[in-house]
Amino acid sequence: MEIRQIAERDMDESLKRQVAALQRVAFPNETHFKTKRWVHTLPLPEDPWFHAWEGNDLVGNVWLHHRTVQTIDGPRNVGGIANVCSSPAHRGTGAAKGCMRAAAAYMENSDHIDFGLLFCGETVRHFYASLGWQVAGNRCLARQPDGTVKPVHDGCVAMYYDASAGRLPWPGGDIDLNGPDW
């Protein structure tokens, strides 16, 4: 299995179709993925995708969305992790973990990302915990299309990854995502 990184701006139509196809089978109940590759937030040209390949088959996927969020300690640059999935036929072979580890290395080597931040269901919390992610107790506030602000995904768990090597403490209090969630 090979893990590769590619920026949104460098993805061609064929790869975009492969990502969309993987997400449709990995998230069969997620209606967003029937028509597009993201949820709520359009990828930025510089956002990296981390892909696991078995030959010509795309079997794992992680998207990292760059965002500056507002915290009680000031602005923080986060790598918003989203669309984490693997092909049902390749579960348990390290595809998702490989992509998550590549995303963590990207954040640690970046000179501008302070933390990773993701939102997940209770059933996958331990998957992320095994990769060094911690539960964030914060309320994360997302802008809605109508301009109002609402806590992210009621019932979801927010988790963070310290990409600053302890340089910055994870802030308490509310986090304003400065836009929609991802």
Ligand X SMILES: CC(C)(COP(=O)(O)OP(=O)(O)OC[C@H]1O[C@@H](n2cnc3c(N)ncnc32)[C@H](O)[C@@H]1OP(=O)(O)O)[C@@H](O)C(=O)NCCC(=O)NCCS
Residues at the contact surface with ligand X, assessed by CB under 6 A:
26-27, 84-86, 91-97, 120, 123-124, 126-127
CB of 126 to ligand X, least distance (A): 4
Q: Which is nearer to ligand X, 9 or 126 (CB)?
A: 126
SS (H, E, C) the chain: CEEEEEEHHHCCHHHHHHHHHHHHHHCCCCHHHHCCCCCCCCCCCCCEEEEEEECCEEEEEEEEEEEEEEECCEEEEEEEEEEEEECHHHCCCCHHHHHHHHHHHHHHHCCCCCEEEEEECHHHHHHHHCCCCEECCCCEEEECCCCCEEECCCCCEEEEEECCCCCCCCCCCCEECCCCCC
Toward ligand X, which CB reaches closer, 125 or 168? 125
Least Å from the CB of residue 52 to ligand X = 8
What is the closest distance, in whole angstroms, from the C-beta atom of residue 73 to ligand X in the complex? Answer: 26
If the CB atoms of residues 124 and 168 are measured against ligand X, the closer one turns out to be 124
